[in-house]
Amino acid sequence: MKKERKLKDLNEFQSWAKESAFVYPSSEIYGGFAAVYDYGPYGSILLKNIRDAWWKSMVQERDDVVGLDSGIFMHPTTWLASGHVGGFADVLVEDKKTNIRYRADHLIEKFFAEKGETVDMDKKTPEELQQIIEENDIKSPDGNELAAPRSFNLLVKSNLGSTDASFDEKNVTYLRGETCQGIYLNFKNIISTTRKKLPMGIAQIGKAFRNEIVARQFIFRTREFEQMEMQYFHHPDDTEKKYEEWKKDRMKWHTDVLGIPEDSLRFKEHAKLIFYATAAFDIQYKFNSMGDAFDELEGIHARSNYDLTQHAKHSGEKMEYFDQSRNEKYIPHIMETSVGLNRIFMMLLDDAWTEEQIENAKGETDTRIVLKIKKSLAPIKAAILPLMRKPDFQSKALDLKKSLQSEFMVEYDETASIGKRYRRQDEIGTPYCITVDHQTLEDNSVTVRDRDSMKQIRINSDEVMDYIKENL
Ligand code: GAP
């Protein structure tokens, strides 16, 4: 049995992600910018692979879901109608001495967790949270008194399109706090310009922005992030059935398409609901890097006809749908699946990152970091490595690289020893390393090394493309 270790905490995660070109802190040359991250050469490919996998399952392979790409900015009334201006808030508490701000619910949860107790802090009001803080004499992490909790709206304001003189609270434009509002605003357009009938879904991937009070968990909670959301429009009688179908479907996506082990995932029902939901489940993942704690990955929400009704009221447009099959007119109800792209990214790396003790070529014990990510999601699919930096080896290797490049992301590497080059590729999750050696010059065969087993096979270089395609 190989000895293995997983990520021990977020510090190790963050420094590894930076060193291996996945995630960089934002604006480092200016001293950093809190709760925003940039995705490096391998990180940006992994994000794209996740987006593509979601889109394929959600839109391409389904007949009842279409795609959309709506603007980040929307008419200011959107956010009044949706209820976000009034109700999209977290409760903040401030350390009276250091002025550091905390989310009140998180502080209370931590207080009880340290005593081995779990409490449900879902959607508590500032007054309820204050009472808990007082009754239990909860202090800040620095041991200081806390100021009274207060609501803090999460929408990010902009001054788009306004001159300074005309800029007032009424015409504030917001950066979208969730992507799905763009879907609701386009529901009528999509129904009238496509031949889609209900039940049907609209899917969208895009950036969302929230003024998170605290964002200290690497890329888990950031102020700029990306959502992959699908809104399923249906008759109210179908809600229960659709809810169960989507719950099953989404869990299966995490296990089958992303390759996450079943026992690292679970459903958690919300005890108290956010203002728009009538039922809500989260899919949670057990993060190695966050002390083996389960935390939210994806939300599955029954939103009733709340959003369309609100937009109808504020815009004066009718949002009713005439259902020919039922001979009935109604405002459709919505089932939502909403997942953060960056959280999926974090889960995939958290699950895949493995430090292994192995035996090297000399029979000595060695360690390697290997990213055991599902091969089809790996940023680089193959690395082409000439054994020696000599023209014969190099030109063969470069020819092979060129032939594979039209199909896959591949890398060519001729620096350092072959062992070091294998390690580099293991660490970024490259499934196959293809080495051009002396024998290649004689019979055109190459070695193909598998990332996980580290076993090598020898095949003709003309067969490499098909071999990789069949084994991804
Ligand atoms: N439209 C529904 C909605 O936005 P949500 O539970 O607030 O629901 C859905 O967000 C998902 O978006 C979450 O499950 C999470 O994956 C992701 N998400 C939310 N806030 C985030 C943040 N600050 N940083 C990164 N991802 C976030």
Kindly tell me if the per-residue pLDDT of 163 is higher than 80: no
**Across the beta sheet with 65-68, what order do the strands follow?**
65-68, 200-209, 224-234, 333-340, 293-302, 279-287, 265-269
Angstrom distances, CA of residue 411 to CA of 49, 226, 384, 403: 17, 28, 6, 12
Average pLDDT over residues 432-454: 97
Ligand 1 atom nearest to CA at 338: 9
pLDDT tier at 168, thresholds 50, 70, 90: low
- Residue 31 alpha carbon to ligand 1 centre in Å: 27
pLDDT tier at 165, thresholds 50, 70, 90: low
Q: Is the CB of 222 under 6 A from ligand 1?
A: yes
Q: Is the CB of 338 under 6 A from ligand 1?
A: yes
Residue nearest (by alpha carbon) to ligand 1 atom 22: 221
Q: Alpha-carbon distance 279 to 303, whole Å? A: 7
- Residue 233 alpha carbon to ligand 1 centre in Å: 20
Q: What domains are defined for the chain?
A: 3-83+155-350 (3.30.930.10), 89-153 (3.30.40.230), 380-471 (3.40.50.800)
Q: Is the CB of 229 under 6 A from ligand 1?
A: yes
- Which segment of 217-231, 270-284, 326-340 scores lowest on mean pLDDT? 270-284
Q: What was the pLDDT predicted at 169?
A: 66
Q: What was the pLDDT predicted at 118?
A: 82
Asked if 314 contacts 77 with a C-beta cutoff of 8 angstroms, the reply is yes
Q: Can you tell me whether residue 189 is helix, strand or coil?
A: helix
Kindly tell me if the per-residue pLDDT of 232 is higher than 90: yes
Average pLDDT over residues 150-176: 80
- Which segment of 2-11, 126-135, 164-173, 251-260 scores lowest on mean pLDDT? 164-173
Which helix (H) or strand (E) segment holds residue 429: the answer is: none
Mean pLDDT of all residues in the chain?
94
Ligand 1 atom nearest to CA at 298: 14
- Residue 335 alpha carbon to ligand 1 centre in Å: 16
Q: Alpha-carbon distance 375 to 98, whole Å? A: 47
Condensed to tens digits (0 to 9), the pLDDT of residues 199-227 reads 999 999 999 999 998 877 999 999 999 99
Residues 6+ apart with CB under 8 A from 402: none
Among 42, 81, 89, residue whose Cα is nearest residue 428: 42
Q: Is the CB of 225 under 6 A from ligand 1?
A: yes
Q: Is the CB of 212 under 6 A from ligand 1?
A: yes
Share of the chain above pLDDT 90, in %: 82
Asked if 187 contacts 308 with a C-beta cutoff of 8 angstroms, the reply is yes
Rg (CA), the chain: 26
Q: Is the CB of 226 under 6 A from ligand 1?
A: no
Q: What was the pLDDT predicted at 161?
A: 74
Q: What was the pLDDT predicted at 86?
A: 86
Output the CA angle 443-445-451, nearest 5 degrees: 165
Kindly tell me if the per-residue pLDDT of 355 is higher than 90: yes
Ligand 1 atom nearest to CA at 282: 14
- The tokens of 211 are what? 């003024």
End-to-end CA distance of the chain: 25
Average pLDDT over residues 283-304: 96
Residue nearest (by alpha carbon) to ligand 1 atom 20: 221
Among 315, 296, 351, 272, residue whose Cα is nearest residue 7: 351
- Residue 142 alpha carbon to ligand 1 centre in Å: 29
Condensed to tens digits (0 to 9), the pLDDT of residues 377-423 reads 999 999 999 999 999 999 999 999 999 999 999 999 999 999 999 99
- Residue 155 alpha carbon to ligand 1 centre in Å: 13
Which helix (H) or strand (E) segment holds residue 338: the answer is: strand 333-340
Residue nearest (by alpha carbon) to ligand 1 atom 14: 298
**Across the beta sheet with 353-359, what order do the strands follow?**
3-5, 353-359, 365-371
Asked if 418 contacts 385 with a C-beta cutoff of 8 angstroms, the reply is yes
pLDDT tier at 306, thresholds 50, 70, 90: very high
Distance of CA 139 to the CA centre of its chain: 33
Condensed to tens digits (0 to 9), the pLDDT of residues 34-63 reads 999 999 999 999 999 999 999 999 999 999
Pocket test for ligand 1, best of 303, 338, 339 (most atoms within 8 A of CB): 338
Helix axes 341-352, 41-55, angle to 10 degrees: 110
Q: Alpha-carbon distance 350 to 346, whole Å? A: 6
Kindly tell me if the per-residue pLDDT of 281 is higher than 60: yes
Share of the chain above pLDDT 70, in %: 98
Per the model's pLDDT, the better-predicted residue between 115 and 370 turns out to be 370
Q: Is the CB of 339 under 6 A from ligand 1?
A: yes
Residue nearest (by alpha carbon) to ligand 1 atom 18: 340
Q: Is the CB of 103 under 6 A from ligand 1?
A: no
Residue nearest (by alpha carbon) to ligand 1 atom 17: 340
Residue nearest (by alpha carbon) to ligand 1 atom 15: 340
- Which segment of 266-270, 274-278, 307-311, 328-332 scores lowest on mean pLDDT? 274-278
Q: Is the CB of 340 under 6 A from ligand 1?
A: yes
Specify which residues 103 forms β-bridges with: 92
Among 37, 41, 90, residue whose Cα is nearest residue 341: 37
Condensed to tens digits (0 to 9), the pLDDT of residues 181-198 reads 999 999 999 999 998 999
- Residue 200 alpha carbon to ligand 1 centre in Å: 23
Neighbours of 161 (CB within 10 A): 11
Kindly tell me if the per-residue pLDDT of 101 is higher than 90: no
Condensed to tens digits (0 to 9), the pLDDT of residues 84-99 reads 998 888 888 988 998 8
Among 329, 336, 327, residue whose Cα is nearest residue 306: 336
Pocket test for ligand 1, best of 227, 246, 270, 303 (most atoms within 8 A of CB): 227
Q: Can you tell me whether residue 169 is helix, strand or coil?
A: helix
- Residue 189 alpha carbon to ligand 1 centre in Å: 26
Average pLDDT over residues 430-454: 97
